[in-house]
């Protein structure tokens, strides 16, 4: 196996002013003008977030409707599932409305 040097291309040039081609700037301007990111609904990450929210809601409802709700473990499970559901919904809304482009103070790949 050869571990030679690889070239990583970015959109930023180190010297001079880099003007993007007219075709690519027109296509990206149309997608940035939309309020919601429709492609995120159909992406794998978007579908996994929806599936995770549904499974958390099913788990919460199952524990809430069980006859033995007096145990502290069940209360802890309910709190954790609701907090996780709210957090995932928050990230889902941020990605759908493309707020991550405006909120640059957060490292989104780490979040």
For the cut 80, the answer to whether the pLDDT of residue 108 exceeds it is yes
For position 51, what pLDDT does the model report? 97
Domain-located, residue 86: yes
User: How many separate domains does the chain show?
Assistant: 1
- Give start and end residues of each alpha helix (H) in the chain: 22-33, 38-42, 44-64, 72-96
For the cut 70, the answer to whether the pLDDT of residue 59 exceeds it is yes
What is the C-alpha to C-alpha distance for residues 41 and 96, in angstroms, rounded to an integer?
Answer: 8
For position 9, what pLDDT does the model report? 60
Residue 16: how many other CB atoms lie within 10 Å: 6
Domain-located, residue 17: no
Q: Note the pLDDT tens digit of each residue in 3-50.
A: 666 656 665 555 545 545 444 444 444 455 678 888 988 899 999 999
Residue 78: how many other CB atoms lie within 10 Å: 16
Give the residue-averaged pLDDT of 52-62.
96
Range of the domain at 95: 38-105
pTM score, whole prediction: 0.65
For position 24, what pLDDT does the model report? 45
- The residues, ordered by sequence, that sit 6+ positions from 41 with a Cβ below 8 Å of its Cβ are 47, 96
Domain-located, residue 57: yes
For position 1, what pLDDT does the model report? 56
Q: Note the pLDDT tens digit of each residue in 63-95.
A: 999 887 678 889 899 999 999 999 999 999 999
CB 100 within 8 A of CB 108: yes
Give the pLDDT band (50/70/90) at residue 111. confident
Domain-located, residue 33: no
Domain-located, residue 18: no
Domain-located, residue 84: yes
What are the C-alpha distances in Å from 109 to residues 23, 61, 92, 104?
28, 31, 14, 11
What is the C-alpha to C-alpha distance for residues 84 and 98, in angstroms, rounded to an integer?
Answer: 21
């Amino acid at each position: 196996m050869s571990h030679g040097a690889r070239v990583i291309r970015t959109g930023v040039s180190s010297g001079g002013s880099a003007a993007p081609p007219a075709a690519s700037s027109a296509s990206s301007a149309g997608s940035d003008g939309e309020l919601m990111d429709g492609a995120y609904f159909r992406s794998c990450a978007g579908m996994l977030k929806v599936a995770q929210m549904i499974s958390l809601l099913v788990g919460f409802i199952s524990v809430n409707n069980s006859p033995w709700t007096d145990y502290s473990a069940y209360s802890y499970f309910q709190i954790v599932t609701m907090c996780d559901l709210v957090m995932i919904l928050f990230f889902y809304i941020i990605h759908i409305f493309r707020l991550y482009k405006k909120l640059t103070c957060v490292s989104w790949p780490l979040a």
